[in-house]
Structure 1
């Protein structure tokens, strides 16, 4: 019963007014009474948290928690691409020359995802990767590479679930949800990191404002579980042999830049 309640609480939203009420509740002291049972139901790894569970005064504070220093190791190889989040490797594969890819039987357009054909042009024939964050995961987002920020922009208005049911039955949530995009330029190529909102309108808070970025550096956080999509140019990256559905952590190597 508790698991069902929390899953509905996290995932069941599609209106601005509902989102506003839920956001206000999670940011209020009234939400504190849910913290112990939430941590138990979703098996939050409390030994990694920066603070003791009792020190979090709202659900929002718990959702956006930081980890203790040194809890994540960042792969140091100069050519490596690392996971920007703790999550599950939902899918990865080739982007067609028509700038599309397919997940759960749905075709996603890179043009829709990035907003214009001009932005999408670089990724035709490239590679995509989808990383899903559940409500139990650490929700901070880090840089997958070192380089320069080429562009930051926001698209979309509403946000719907991006879990497996959402991907299977939703209306292209990866390319239609509210999303915040950061495009990087490295010495080797361009990479787009698409942060997809899962529940609230503007559920993604940006923390990094500088042009230069270091691999593993904190960039933003999700208010709730969500999804990150990485887009790579054609012939720009060789992915490691990764198992779909596998859990992955910030800093773990995903592949290497060519």
Structure 2
């Protein structure tokens, strides 16, 4: 068996995986990784990317450039133009990112699920009673980005970003093993709530959730990186118009985006738990007029 095969076999053992990725000084390791990944040294860069390949399905064939200054530069890579076109149908809400589809469905009053049998509430996730009312009995879908995926995320439809709220928290791993063991995990981790009003009038909210090694979220329209070290305002009023497919920002490693809509949105045919989806592909269909 190859080294990668041995590593894969070990990390698939749930107890060991949970121990290695959670029962460690999560915040300290995340801060260290944030510093280490930005070191612009060819030897450190090449060694780090080689190690990364052992633990993931990293594929750099779509990257816009073939040489990277640092591990961080590789994490946040752009893709070649035209590789993630947004679905042109105005009735379609596109996936904001590459990802694996996790829990999704109807929000039961204000309850949704991180996995089957593990509920959490909109209020715990969003921290805003007014925003909770916009999504009561609505729809939700969870998109998990693995470490090797393209880490940038995009506007799922034409609209206007109205407010961004940073909610400080922990940095638990967000893989399925942790989701089974840590109650209300998404409500405990560092996250950003991006309130959007679609051009067609409906509310849509994106919640990028940070995780271990990745507690930094970059938002272009605010020209700011939000993380545990952020000081000052945590609420940012906005009036930023976006077009479907516009790049909004990036994670500094893999993580999760939760997409919330009001009632009457329908999931597109390809939305199946465990399926892979790419940024720009059909995710939800808006209600007819």
**Under a length normalisation based on structure 1, what TM-score does the superposition of the two structures give?**
0.90
Give the deviation of 1:183 after TM superposition: 1.1
Output the CA distance in 2 between the equivalents of 1:100 and 1:78: 29
Moved more, 15-24 or 77-86: 15-24
Q: 2 CA distance for matches of 1:135 and 1:249? A: 15
Q: After superposition, give the CA deviation of every residue in 1:137-177 in whole Å (9 maximum; x if it has no partner).
A: 10001111110112111112221111101211123221221
Aligned to 1:25: 36
Cα RMSD of the aligned pairs, angstroms, is 2.3
Q: C-alpha displacement at 1:201, in angstroms?
A: 7.0
2:184 pairs with 1:172: yes
Provide structure 2 residue ranges, at least 5 long, that are not aligned to the other structure.
Answer: 12-16, 223-238
Matching residue of 2:146: 134
* Equivalent in the alignment of 1:229: 258
- 1:39 Cα offset (Å): 3.3
Poorly superposed stretches of 4+, deviation over 3 Å: 1-8, 10-16
Distance 1:244 1:15 in 2: 28
Quote the residue 1:219 is aligned against: 248
Cα distance in 1 between the residues matched to 2:214 and 2:103: 25
Note the C-alpha offset of 1:26.
1.4
Q: Residue 49 of structure 1 corresponds to which residue in structure 2?
A: 63
Structure 1 distance, partners of 2:111, 2:68, is 42
Match of 2:52 among 10, 27, 38: 38
SS of structure 2 residue aligned to 1:122: helix
Aligned to 1:239: 267
Partner of 1:90: 102
Q: Where does residue 199 of structure 1 map in the other structure? A: 212
Cα distance, 1:250–1:175 mapped onto 2, change above 3 Å = same
In the TM superposition, what whole-angstrom CA distance separates every residue of 1:95-117 from its partner, at most 9, and x where no partner exists? 012x1112322111100111122
Aligned to 2:174: 162
- Mapped to 2, the partners of 1:233 and 1:89 lie a distance apart of 19
| Number of aligned positions between the proteins | 254
* Structure 1, unaligned runs of 5 or more: none
1:46: Cα distance to partner?
Answer: 2.2
